[in-house]
Amino acid sequence: MAARFEKWLTEADIENRLITLPISWLSVLLPRIEQGSHEVHLQVTDGFGFFGEFCCSIRRVGRYRKLVLQSEGWLKFVNHKGLKVGDKIVLDSEANDFRGPQFRIRAQKLNKECDQWLDV
């Protein structure tokens, strides 16, 4: 199953962690989660040679589940890309029958001259 997530970054995203992924991503991640575990490691690429690993934990907030990217891998990516508040990320998953879902992350900054989001 393929999924896509776009987010304009806030101060909390830049300083701590990418707060949450949509709960719809749970269907993409569940097959990768080991029995009894509450987290999964996502290996991501960005198309520019960046390869990283994000730890996504599944937390319970009352009756609901919440998907959160933990700070270590996420903050390395933020610093590597020089991301600031108002920049955008796009996280895509693509189904692969042999290797499982593949994840690609794109960091984007707004080019005000041409009013377009450009990958960095």
List CB contacts of 106: < 8 A, sequence separation 6 or more: 46, 47, 89, 90, 91, 92, 119
pLDDT tens digit sequence for 47-91: 888 888 988 888 877 787 788 888 788 898 999 999 999 999 999
The CATH number corresponding to 3-119 among 2.60.40.420, 3.40.1350.10, 3.30.499.10, 2.40.330.10 equals 2.40.330.10
Q: Where are the domains of the chain?
A: 3-119
The two three-digit tokens of residue 44, written as one number: 């991501």
Q: What is the pLDDT of residue 107?
A: 95
Q: What is the pLDDT of residue 73?
A: 87
3-state secondary structure 91-104: EEEECCCCCCCEEE
pLDDT tens digit sequence for 12-26: 889 887 667 888 888
Q: What is the pLDDT of residue 1?
A: 59
